[in-house]
Structure 1
């Protein structure tokens, strides 16, 4: 369905440009946008490689395990049907820690592994379990302490102070995560009362 929407947008924009005689501007925008996209990607790659390297050092030093131990009691309450020593718990914690450091791309493989493990706990059913829904809500909203991708983009565009968004990012993502948990719990308890 999304592919059809994109094709329709593309066709309508080309027709609109042809009718209004602005096809040259569209061509210029396409090539400028493509060049800028590649430039941004290379800038993001360098920042992501740096932070992924730091995450690997933190993992080898035991910092991630320490953070996981700190969060484990709280996470166990959010996912009561997941055994504490189950691999899903480790993947959930790793995903959350990576998201905290703004490494959404690095968190994705761990999130996929967490969902696979949660599906196994759900006896490979075709519907999402309570834990899967909760994990998706938390992963989508996730608290971010260091928004590395946004800082990298701001650096690429020569921002005077690329890190000034850290405080507002922490506040905004804290609110979104608390909101996601509250909404998740509300619908869970509402559904279980029926």
Structure 2
């Protein structure tokens, strides 16, 4: 991935030099990087709130209790994860944050889940079906409240930035269902 970014940036810089637009490139870089920093800072509050709530839920044992109550459903999605594995808790925390629209905050729990899944993986250089399923669900992720998109719409002056909630919930639910079905069908073939 880093090579792709390197080539895209290099091609852009070389193109701006040959087209005589290096000055425009510098203006865009300066303006957009400051906007990016402002955007990230404005999201810190939302991310801190949800990460704090999820850490409290984890420390209080609530996540483990939810995990135990959802174990039969999780066993369908992730059949080879042992019942006592921490991976299930991390997967639940990741999914919960994604559903609540705090996908940036969910990343840390997603990485921890993958570490736990790798520990129970017998072939360390090959992803398991459970790892692939988790990645598929994580990428499609149902969004109950898409905070990031609402924040962007609010910053851009939308009259009703929340109006996308129902359509986003519908679209992400359908995409997640299709992703899970596709993954289950493909894992049977290979």
State the distance in 2 between where 1:34 and 1:6 align: 16
Equivalences for residues 36-185 of structure 1 within 5 A:
36-56=35-55, 64=63, 67-69=66-68, 71-123=70-122, 125-185=124-184
Return the offset for 1:143.
1.0
Aligned residue pairs, count: 190
Deviates more, 1:90-99 or 1:51-60: 51-60
State the distance in 1 between where 2:60 and 2:117 align: 28
State the distance in 1 between where 2:65 and 2:168 align: 24
State the distance in 2 between where 1:129 and 1:15 align: 42
Return the offset for 1:53.
3.8
TM-score scaled by length of structure 1: 0.84
Return the offset for 1:170.
0.7
Return the offset for 1:76.
1.5
The verdict on how the C-alpha distance between 1:40 and 1:86 changes in structure 2, with shifts beyond 3 A counting, is same
Deviates more, 1:175-184 or 1:79-88: 79-88
Q: Cα RMSD over matched residues?
A: 2.3
The verdict on how the C-alpha distance between 1:147 and 1:125 changes in structure 2, with shifts beyond 3 A counting, is same
State the distance in 2 between where 1:63 and 1:83 align: 19
TM-score scaled by length of structure 2: 0.86
Gaps of 5+ in 2: none
Determine if contact 1:48/1:149 at 8 Å carries over to the other structure: no
